[in-house]
Structure 1
């Protein structure tokens, strides 16, 4: 398995760089080939998770612009901000003269990305949707910035950690889970969301897996109707006590009686290597539910 991952990393590097003189070319998640004359030295990231991915891939020292709320690792706090993910400051980005802009397809405005491209900036658009996209994007950034060894270490560590959890909970009793990503209005996730992948990996069953939208808004009555065995989630870091209290005070008795587990949203709602920490927290919570039901 390790050999296979190494071969995949080599193939990414080959696809990204045909010869030293030809520069770098890599297809992004739009299917658009992005070309660099040389490895990226001046990088701007347009979402917090992209800054984190750049640092994890070994390119953090080259990041000179980040989106608001880019707070991990701590070094990202000292980098100039270029707006938030939903509305970036194109002029400020252009003034930084980046040779690579890492963008988020569903989080950034398409018009902003088009303006940056018209200004001659290389924009690599990403759309992480599955757990496997985290190591894939780490390797892609490593190829674009010529930091492949660091990127491969981070990608392999993530794959190995997730693989260990998958093996550990492969035969575990299924636990029906309601996952809250926001409280007012109450928002959860469908099976198309990466959090649902984590729930499944830990031997859980997302009770709203078949919802038609990625992050459906639901009522407390709807949650009670699908009969979860546990409630997990958290909308803001550091609000574990408030999260538990809100569910203990729910107006529906059946929901008040359920076990409640807070998961730091930064560990599971950002598509980064820290998802492994979030997955371990989810798996530990579901295992506690199983132990208490024996």
Structure 2
């Protein structure tokens, strides 16, 4: 065989081998790499299945707790709109506003071209939600009712946002914090608690509210747990009859046990009330206790310390 012919044959075989190797590598890469546009699907807190053709890239949050959940799940960069009072974390304050839970700017929401809207099942106006649903924009209903639901919300949102690793990490950290509080406080001597939502009219929460979960986590007992309404109205006489060991409420930025809301001062008119007689009137930062998001673990830690103070005061009498 002539040298020129031999060289040509070798070159052809080498080229064919290289192409085969490249093709094999491409096949292996394609088999190992995740699908770029794989559909994702979860069940929301309304029991409805939410399916997206691909992880959401443009998200609108219609509740402050939802905004916190989205950031904690690793999806903050995908938020294009949020309602008023979405102030945590600090980056959320720069997200464009679309109204509040009472009145949404539907035109602005539509103009943002979201591929997912996360709504508050009982907080957003049903008529406006129906209009959004009519536009066929996927809606995820968020209404965590128990402490464990916060972690579940994080992982579900992580699936919809394509941020599973961050969401799983946040859910794990939250579960760890709650488990530690439960192990430390849940079996300590019971403390009866009246949780005051509002003073005019006087309102509280029943046993199905997440804050009642927090009270139980700390070894407390919600004295109005058996009432039917989630946030019932009641009389002053009902509180006096229950004679709780502690009265708890929330205040903006209140983090110390000795800084109750002015509304709690009204109870000093009944000095025989056990909570008043022993100085057990407490206020906790509302953002840490009323938003069903990971920071509720911080609010729970504060409440647990307050109820432990009640136990120490009881022991001293």
| TM-score, L = length of structure 1 | 0.89
Residue in 2 aligned with 1:253?
271
Name the CA distance, whole Å, in 1 between partners of 2:144 and 2:186: 24
Shift of 1:257: 2.1
* Residue in structure 1 matching 2:199, options 183, 197, 218: 183
Residue in 2 aligned with 1:262?
283
| TM-score, L = length of structure 2 | 0.83
Check 1:116–1:268 CA distance in 2 against 1; reply closer, same or farther (3 A cut): same
Q: Give the length in aligned residue pairs.
A: 277
CA contact (8 A) 1:263 1:278 kept: yes
1:1-294, aligned counterparts within 5 Å?
21-238=37-254, 243-250=260-267, 251-255=269-273, 256-258=276-278, 259-294=280-315
Shift of 1:92: 1.0
The higher radius of gyration belongs to 2
Name the CA distance, whole Å, in 2 between partners of 1:32 and 1:248: 45
Unaligned runs of 5+ in 2: 1-33
Check 1:266–1:110 CA distance in 2 against 1; reply closer, same or farther (3 A cut): same
Name the CA distance, whole Å, in 2 between partners of 1:34 and 1:175: 41
CA contact (8 A) 1:24 1:38 kept: yes
Name the CA distance, whole Å, in 1 between partners of 2:255 and 2:154: 30
Name the CA distance, whole Å, in 1 between partners of 2:165 and 2:127: 34
CA contact (8 A) 2:250 2:261 kept: no
Residue in 1 aligned with 2:30?
none
Name the CA distance, whole Å, in 2 between partners of 1:138 and 1:70: 17
Name the CA distance, whole Å, in 2 between partners of 1:285 and 1:242: 12
Unaligned runs of 5+ in 1: 1-17
What is the Cα-based RMSD across aligned positions, in Å?
1.9
Name the CA distance, whole Å, in 1 between partners of 2:266 and 2:153: 41
Q: Deviations over 1:20-50 (max 9, x none)?
A: 6541122222222222121111100000000
